[in-house]
Amino acid sequence: MTKADVLLGLQWGDEGKGKIVDVLTPEYDIIARFQGGPNAGHTLEFNEIKHVLHTIPSGIFRPDTQNIIGNGVVIDPVTLAIEIDSLKELNVDVQESIQVSKKAHLILPTHRLLDAASERAKGKEKIGSTLKGIGPTYMDKTGRNGLRVGDIIENNFKERYDNLKSKHLELLKNYDYPLDELADMESVFFESVNSIRELTLIDSEHSVNRSMTENKKVLAEGAQGSLLDIDFGSYPFVTSSNTICAGACTGLGIAPNKIGEVYGIFKAYCTRVGSGPFPTELFDEDGKRLATKGHEFGATTGRPRRCGWLDIPALKYAIMLNGVTQLIMTKADVLSAFDEIKVCTHYKYKGETIDYFPYDVINNDVEPIWKSMKAWDKDLTNVTSIDDLPQELMDYVTYLEQELQVPIKIISVGPRRSQTLLRD
């Protein structure tokens, strides 16, 4: 029996997971998404075309690979239907390549309205939600009120939908939120539900475990990043699911002792979208240069990302939580724009120097302590071999491996498949 490998982000998301999954997919039979919703935008670029996936696993563009949307995912039928239509235009056999867990929860139009209403009510204290309805959907899931994919093939689906909608309308009254768009949103929603009915709906936990028993190779694909985990992230400025490795167990029905390799992806620097603490954030020209050179805009929202230098304490924290066995560094090419790069090695926190990610980074000043390193004056985007990387970059890699005690096995120097360099 094979074990399932897990691939996830170690920062605040946007680490380049989609591209790396696409590169690794030929080694796997199944790519399975285990949590999150359509606020995740996984960008893949090949054949001079950019593709952004929001719900469908990033193995979809590789033939002979099964892609499973697991029970831990929350699905907006409208977003999924749009993705399916765009894949059909590219001659992807959606019917054969995608399977959806019957236990995955559905995002309703009123979930999206509740998300917007809640965020509006918070004013300056808003979380920075992408307004996709994900938080309210997970709230209904844990409140045992939610609708699941399996419900759409039941005769009383509309009745169940109306019951949950009624509850939401009462909440929206309290927010005094307008409902002008709801009728149009519902029309598109039910059309999209029909599209999902045409897919293969499965008991994914049985399917995944059966495949592993048959020695098929499974890669569990995470969304967002470890520092956005509902339990261990920078709460309350987090997402609504468990983004760490343990989320693959609950989001796919895989036992902990069936987890194999854990791939942790991080950028050579840091970014964050939305509100919340960000100890190494830069507000100077270096921050602007990272944003410009790195094209740091959200794949789903288009929002500009906040940028800063690499944060070692936060990275060590994420590695610990996930049991990372291999590291993957992306966007090394972006640092070519600098004469000098910096790394945060410790924090000054409540009058002490600490080397760990503390409980309350919201209400306390966390001041980074920096280590400076020499950068490299070389365009990396055309480099095709590890041996051709500049010594300064390899010194950076060696330093990080010593600090993190995990090998960096892949270095990415651009968005294309060919810009992915493997180390022995």
User: Which residues are marked as active site?
Assistant: 14, 42
Q: Are 421 and 410 in contact (CB under 8 A)?
A: yes
**HEC sequence for 150-183:** HHHHCCCHHHHHHHHHHHHHHHHHHHCCCCCCHH
Q: Which secondary-structure segment (H or E) carries 321?
A: helix 312-322
Q: Are 256 and 249 in contact (CB under 8 A)?
A: yes
Kindly give, in sequence order, each residue whose CB lies less than 8 Å from that of residue 424, ignoring residues fewer than 6 positions away: none
Other Cβ atoms less than 10 A from the Cβ of 129: the count is 20
Amino acid occupying residue 105:
H
Rounded Cα distance between 84 and 421, Å, is 31
Beta bridge partners of 342: 372
Write out the two tokens for 19: 């591209």
| CB contact set of 338 (below 8 Å; sequence gap of 6+) | 286, 289, 375
| C-alpha to C-alpha distance for 232 and 270, rounded to whole angstroms | 18
Among 355, 399, 354, which Cα is nearest to 373's? 399
In whole angstroms, how far apart are CA 140 and each of 38, 234, 335?
Answer: 17, 22, 43
Beta bridge partners of 69: 33, 100
Tell me the backbone φ, ψ of residue 402, rounded to 5 degrees: -65, -40
Whole-angstrom distance, CA of residue 63 vs CA of residue 47? 15
How many CB atoms are closer than 10 A to CB 304? 12
